[in-house]
Amino acid sequence: MHFSSIRVVKGLALAGVAGALVACGGGGGGSSSGGPGAYVVTLTAAKTELPTNIMGVQPGIGVNSPYTTTMYVSAKRANSGDPIPGGDDVFACNVVGGLDSAVLYKLDGTDEEDDDGNPIASRSLVLGANAGAASFHLHATNTPGTATVRCAVDDNGTQRDTTINIAVGLSTGKPSQVVVNAAAPEYVFVQGIGQTTQILLQAQILDDAGAIVPNPASGVNNLYARIVPTVGTADDDAKLRGTGADNTWVKARSVSGQASFTLVSGATTGSVLVEVLSDRADNDVDNGVSQVVSNIVSVPVVAAVGMEALAIQGAGALPAATEGKSYAAIVQASGGVPPYVWSLVPGTSLPAGLSLSSDGVIYGTPSVDGPFSFALRVRDSATLQQTAEAVYTISIGAAPDPEPAALQIATSSLPNGTVGDPYAAILVATGGSGTYSWSAANLPPGLAISAAGVITGTPTLAGTYPVAFTVSGGGTASRIVNIVIN
């Protein structure tokens, strides 16, 4: 992947720090400290292994962004646990090793952007602190290697820092990316006009290092493809053909990493969105897919080539999205000479978390909510190229409130009591919702429980009592806990 403008953010100097203590984290993260009262810097990553980004996919957040990992940095006092005070320039983070294999982004809407509205990569970032912590993102390029990321804070004139290693492009033999290409001329004609109405789609299944995956066992399919229903009618009667089916989905088996199937057009112009996926878990889609590796491609369906002026179809409102949920939609053009190439109009941008592919697929996982508008440009493939522009809108709903954790009784043991001595204990529950209400069966004689879960009284009879406690509040949970009375 080529970045035309790599910028370096000026901030805290990170090299040659006298007295800085460094702990390398080759796994989930690292931390450092400089004494009892010094700041302890902790750096972790959501993923410490990324595939090689041979397709040049832009960075993003969520399940549809396999080449990007979220990094978390925090700093606290070693002796008190107090977080570092908030501010604008608290953490300085940069890639100090394997500079060609990874770059950094904020992906919070504050990154500088290129003319197409894509965030510009950085080798260094200066981050503010909120509650003693901050987050940023590391993105893999098309070069394998190990990226060492270092974050530092200023501790009264002394820098405290730590590092973590992110491996890019390890050779695993497991599916990590699916590259899908349409055979020339990359479009098909509608049925009934005497032109080509089918096209071969070829998918390469590659591992983290960009190497082809091993052939699955004989008779086992490791690729699943489907036509994704979208706004418009071009996909209503289009079909996929292959060894596994003859309808809106097909399975296929890769040989030397490559699997093929055919798309057949319907009677309506537009674009057909095809999703292909494999299973990273076992390179087998016949038994279900537990770790999805996917890609999408848009294939134009036309009635004529070069006979009409290039025009954008269906501009305006796109299907609604939800914050934090995977999203895909296609934009469509007609006329001119396909295939078409889409881009953002300079000065406009997609909602954070969404990306635009050159074949007109808007995809990703939005990380913000609200109404958004942006302008897209399309050009055709004629010798004298035509272009067209249009404004689109998308409404992204706020992420739903998370489901409450299941109600359960956290108390697993209770103190012993003595006959004739006052007894008191408090029960603890977690999860659920609302106010907890407690009850109990088989309490020792002389003891009682309140609705708030407080056991009080004076036991009158020795023994071991298996008490069945029940709590309600957004559900019901029960647990048996012994109370021993001596």
Tens place of pLDDT for every residue, the chain, 486 residues? 333 222 222 222 222 222 222 333 334 556 555 556 899 999 999 889 888 887 777 787 765 677 899 999 999 998 888 999 988 899 999 998 876 778 999 887 788 877 666 788 888 999 998 888 899 999 998 888 899 999 999 999 899 999 999 988 888 888 988 989 899 899 999 999 989 999 999 999 988 888 889 999 999 999 999 998 887 778 888 999 886 666 889 999 999 989 999 999 999 998 999 999 999 989 999 988 888 888 889 999 999 998 889 999 888 999 999 988 888 899 999 999 999 999 999 888 888 888 888 889 998 888 888 999 999 999 999 989 999 999 999 999 988 877 778 899 999 999 999 999 999 999 998 888 888 999 999 999 999 999 999 999 999 999 999 999 999 998 899 999 999 999
Question: Torsion angle, CA of 32/35/36/38, rounded to 10 degrees?
Answer: -60
The count of residues in the chain is 486
Q: Which fold has domain 171-303?
A: Immunoglobulin-like (2.60.40)
CA gap 114, 106 in Å, rounded: 15
Is-same-fold flag (7-168; 408-485)?
Answer: yes
Residue 48 DSSP label: S
- CATH architecture of the domain 307-402 equals Sandwich (2.60)
Longest CA–CA span in the chain (Å) reads 100
Cβ neighbours for 272, distance < 8 A, ≥ 6 positions apart: 227, 234, 235, 238, 263, 265, 298, 299, 301
- What are the residue ranges spanned by the domains of the chain? 7-168, 171-303, 307-402, 408-485
CATH 2.60.40.10 for domain 7-168, yes or no, is yes
How far, in Å, CA of 249 to CA of 241, rounded?
8
Do residues 198 and 51 touch, judged by C-beta distance below 8 A?
A: no
Neighbours of 194 (CB within 10 A): 7
Class of domain 408-485: mainly beta
- Strand spans (E) along 98-171: 102-105, 122-129, 133-140, 145-155, 158-168
**In this structure, are residues 40 and 23 in contact, taking their beta carbons and an 8 Å threshold?**
no
pTM of the model: 0.60
